[in-house]
Amino acid sequence: MYKILRKELLAPNIYLMDVEAPRVARAAKPGQFIILRLDEKGERIPLTIADYDATEGSVTIVIQTIGYSTTKLCAMNPGEFLADFAGPLGRPSEFVNEDMATLRNKRILFVAGGVGTAPVYPQVKWLAEHGIKADVIIGAKNKDTFIYVEKMQQVAGHVYLATDDGSAGFHGLVTALISDLIDNQGKQYDEVIAIGPMIMMKFVTKTTKAYNLKTIVSLNSLMVDGTGMCGACRVSVGGKTRFTCVDGPEFDGHEVDFDEAMRRQGMYKTIESRKAKIEQERAEGHVCKVGLDR
């Protein structure tokens, strides 16, 4: 059993939780994920690690209420226990294994969108701990939906905010801000790492390709069971089939077939939405339980 130590509402429908998991905390690296289950009958929920503290023995996860299981998870409180919390899983971020002298000469730009800002944080933090200050763009719909801004400012070189409605920072999409930084503000980068909504990452890669910038993306939102056995996280990368949870979750963004990935993601979201609706109707006494749990 894994105890929930802390819970915080970061933005509407987005929660942070610290979970007591000493072994995971000691082994975790940026870019990896965990799989949790609420109880012995619960489904497997893969979540990218948002932070870890080996001394405290805790791992931070950030959850957005999308379907039935995430809504149920976000309703839990400190002091309650999760049945399973397995990890760290997946491959660490590529830069973790790079030659440090080479890495320190790189100019890295992170592009974070929405809840994807959370898994960007441990990467920027790890780089800062090794003397590397990366720049970060954080995009959101409006000023009320930003997360991790202050934490990111403590570890990044510069943090640039972008909002769709112009209520904070740059008025426009993160892709337009990338171009503004390079074309108008004289910024130069060697690599971009983007984590956020699939559609955002798709257009980030289109933008960076015009600048011949290497771009890494995280396809963590495609994962379902976290083992590759279910096949839900299949994605075409460079014309070859890859499994996000075992080969990733990070890939060369310029080689990812985003249209295929978004179709696959849409199928899973539809299933989750149907399940959430059924559970809501059941709770209201409108649906018979027989036959719905198969």
Burial 47-81 (b: 16+ CB within 10 A, else e): bbbbbbeeeebbbbbbbbbbbbbbbbbbebeeeee
Residues 238 and 256 in one domain: yes
Is pLDDT at 128 greater than 90 in this prediction? yes
The answer on pLDDT for 283 being more than 60 is no
Tell me if 152 is assigned to some domain.
yes
Q: Percentage of the chain with pLDDT > 90?
A: 70
Residue 182 lies in a domain: yes
- What CATH number is associated with residue 23? 2.40.30.10
Residue 243 falls within a domain, yes or no?
Answer: yes
Q: How confident is the model at residue 41 (pLDDT cuts 50, 70, 90)?
A: confident
In a domain, 82, yes or no: yes
Last residue of a domain, which of 62, 89, 116?
89
pTM, entire model: 0.86
Q: Which domain holds residue 32?
A: 2-89
Q: What is the CATH number of the domain that holds 165?
A: 3.40.50.80
- HEC readout, 77-125: CCCCEECEEEEEECCCCHHHHCCHHHHHCCCEEEEEEHHHHHHHHHHHH
**Tens-place pLDDT, residues 184-201:** 999 999 999 999 999 999
The verdict on residue 287 lying in a domain is: no
Q: Is residue 108 included in any domain, yes or no?
A: yes
- Does the residue 270 lie in any domain? no
Element housing 3 (H / E): strand 2-11
Are 66 and 98 in a shared domain?
A: no
Indicate the SS3 state at residue 214. strand
Residues 172 and 129 in one domain: yes
Task: Using the structure block, give the residue that is written with the tokens 């000493």.
Answer: 22
Does residue 104 lie in a domain region? Answer: yes
136 and 26 in a common domain: no
Nearest to 220 by CA among 243, 254, 192, 191: 243
Please give the tally of structural domains in the chain.
Answer: 2
